[in-house]
Amino acid sequence: MTTELNALIVTAASIGFFHTILGPDHYLPFVMMSWSRKWSTAKTSLITFLCGLGHIGSSVVLGLIGVSLGLAVKRLEVVESTRGNVAAWLLIAFGLVYFVWGLRRAYRSQPHSHSHSHTGEVAHAHVHSHHIEHSHVHDDKTTAGIAPWALFLIFVFGPCEPLIPILMYPAAKNSFLGLIVVTSVFGIVTVATMLGVVLLARVGVNFTRLARLQRYSHVIAGATICLCGLAIQFLGL
């Protein structure tokens, strides 16, 4: 390997790591959804991994098309910027919808009491929640199926901004093998960092005393995801 290629490999690993750490959209949605929906470690890891692959894969495909057709970097940067705006708005919309759904669910699961009296006995009351007894198991199944696919779609639209101009094009000038190696290093480090941060944060959230807030877990998750999207769109995070 040439000195230039070695430098690109180190750069790819560094950018993959810091790009992920500094982008809360790479891990916050998974942490909050895992907590609110009580996903297992295995399910959280699988969903994060697949979304990471979609996130990297879409930019890799676009970059390979650009390299093979000799398209100017600026053209691809415009496409990536457009994809980034779409992904941010999708994240905002998903968080907002989930927030509203969580409010509705929290309201309908509010415990309430019924008073009863029997002949010759003192009146008594019992507290229950219709949500726990009946409810909205159908809602849970629906959102449980939709949420992972929604996240995957958002991450497919989400671009890896530094991948094409900083890594793929310079690597392609070296050799096709160099392009594959540099792209692979970036992808592996990015997905591995996503998994590491999500699982570590998930442990922290699970061990925090949030029992009193559990009824509002979906509300909190939706609000956090929405704010994450807003920060990306308007603050450039």
Question: What are the tens digits of pLDDT across the range 148-164?
Answer: 999 999 999 988 888 98
Average pLDDT, stretch 122-149? Answer: 57
What pLDDT band is residue 134 in, cutting at 50, 70 and 90? very low
Q: Judge whether residue 120 has pLDDT over 90.
A: no
Task: Report in angstroms the alpha-carbon separations of 59 from 100, 158, 168, 175, 221.
Answer: 32, 8, 10, 19, 27
Q: 0.85 exceeded by the pTM? A: no
Q: Judge whether residue 50 has pLDDT over 90.
A: yes
Which helix (H) or strand (E) element contains residue 125? strand 124-128
Phi/psi at 128 (5° precision) = -155, 170
Q: Judge whether residue 227 has pLDDT over 90.
A: yes
Say which residue, 1 or 29, is predicted with more confidence: 29
Half-sphere exposure of 16 (CA within 13 A, CB side): 25
Domain range annotation of the chain: 3-17+42-110+129-235
Tokens of 26: 């790479």
Q: Which of 39-43, 105-109, 176-180, 200-204 has the lowest mean pLDDT?
A: 105-109
Tokens of 157: 């639209």
Alpha helices in the chain (DSSP H): 3-21, 28-37, 41-69, 73-108, 130-133, 137-157, 169-174, 176-207, 217-235
Compute the radius of gyration of the chain from its Cα atoms.
23
